[in-house]
Amino acid sequence: MRIFRMAVVAGFALAAAVSVRADDRPNVLFIAVDDLNHWVGHLGRNPQTSTPNIDRLAARGVRFTHAYCAAPLCNPSRAALMSGQRPSTTGVYQNPDDWRTVIPKDLTLTTAFRKAGYDVLGAGKIYHESFRRAEEWDDYLRGAGKDPQPKGDLGVGGIRFAPLDDARDEDLREWKIVDYGIEQLGKPREKPFFLAVGLHKPHMPWNVPRKYYDLHPLDSIQLPPTRPDDLDDVPPAGVRMARPRGDHKAMLESGRWKEAVQAYLAAISYADAMIGRLLDALDASPQRDKTIVVLWGDHGWHLGEKSHWRKFALWEEATRAPLIWVVPGVTKPGVACARTVDFMSLYPTLTDLCSVPTPKHVEGRSIKALLQDPAAAWDQPALTTFGARNHAVRSEGWRYIRYANGDEELYDEEADPYEWTNLAADAKYAGKKAELARWFPTTDAPPLKASAPERESD
């Protein structure tokens, strides 16, 4: 590793000597992490996690402690973030929905940067892997390959995990994806770049080298806080999303809940190590001091909370994810922002910071003011949608869910951070529900497909 770093430094020094760039707008390093919930060190939700590289990035800039996805599954979340349009506008609600049929190329974040003269480059999972539009990019990595497969046991039902005893870090496709990012950071350019690097892990299967499992010894694993009666006050629509007789029932019967938690933590640690390689390369690059870095997870993940596994729900665990911004000349190191934001803010914030025109169709709001002052006034809560007319509004103190059939949930997030007590039926909270309900979408586009949530190919 030391030899690799020396070579990277030497290469970047040479690049710096020959690089001439007339355009002084900042570069963008856009890091997406698949299925990464809020189990990262700096958010404190799970003290068992080990994410030193994500945390060192957070220490350099502004970390948002309450950031939420537009949709709690891969395809709609990414389509919304990259297009600037919410699922309720496009009708892209599920993973099988081909977003390209309703989101023209001219509307996307990548196109906005290309039109503004940026080199737009990408690798890994930025959009949902089933749907990619090559003409949005100046260059995109092809052929990252497939991950090695474990021998023997593969997990519990659809929750797939196993350590890789014979694999090295570089045997997984993440290594090649990050290599692409490192290579692009080292190239001399006349134009600023928008470089998107999308990691698949910790998406299932949680098959990573054994050493990452060893970081989280099984005998020390603690289960997430749960209550066996948690769904008793959840309305039928919420219970249907939880599917307690599916993954959770299988996990309880297997007796392997702790193994699954260990495996997810191991996959997070592997992703963190790959992010570390990318940050090391940026640090050694002549681009460091003129590059905006934004890191985001596309949604959250349940590991038994509310008798639920995976994403596919409107609760805190399924919707909250990391969001970190490092912006030269704008952010200060070591800052936490407690304002509640959603990922629709990424598109307009990036265009705002880079002097790129923000298209009129973009529904999110720039958070540049919060990057400059994390205590700045902010009156907009986060909005998450899962399927047609199912919405959750998350303010700094509350979560209000209203399902398509009219079922409701209301949680006091300060007093009840694991959302164990549904207050929606209590008349004294009618005013709070009305206050939050005004943030629900005013339009609900019909679904592109009458399909159930995708459980595997996500």
How far apart are the C-alpha atoms of 295 and 455, rounded to whole Å?
Answer: 25
Report yes or no: 451 and 94 within 8 Å, Cβ to Cβ: yes
Q: Which residues contact 379 (CB under 8 A, 6 or more apart)?
A: none
How far apart are the C-alpha atoms of 275 and 179, rounded to whole Å?
Answer: 11
Report yes or no: 206 and 264 within 8 Å, Cβ to Cβ: yes
Q: Which residues contact 345 (CB under 8 A, 6 or more apart)?
A: 364, 365, 366, 367
Catalytic residue among 38, 66, 128, 391: 128
Helix ranges, 19-171 (H): 52-58, 74-83, 87-90, 109-115
Which tokens hold the place of 261?
Answer: 């938690």
Burial 49-58 (b: 16+ CB within 10 A, else e): bbbebbbebb
69: annotated active-site residue: no
Phi and psi of 75, rounded to 5°? Answer: -60, -55
Catalytic residue among 38, 66, 69, 74: 74
What is residue 42's DSSP assignment? G
How far apart are the C-alpha atoms of 173 and 271, rounded to whole Å?
Answer: 11
248: annotated active-site residue: no
Name 336's bridge partners. 63
Collapsed DSSP state (helix, strand, coil) of residue 288: helix
Q: Which residues contact 118 (CB under 8 A, 6 or more apart)?
A: 25, 28, 191, 192, 193, 194, 354, 356
Crossing angle of helices 74-83 and 346-353, in 10° steps, is 30
| Residue of 396, 391, 366 lying closest to 379 (CA atoms) | 396
Give me the amino acid identity at 99: W
Active site residues: 74, 128
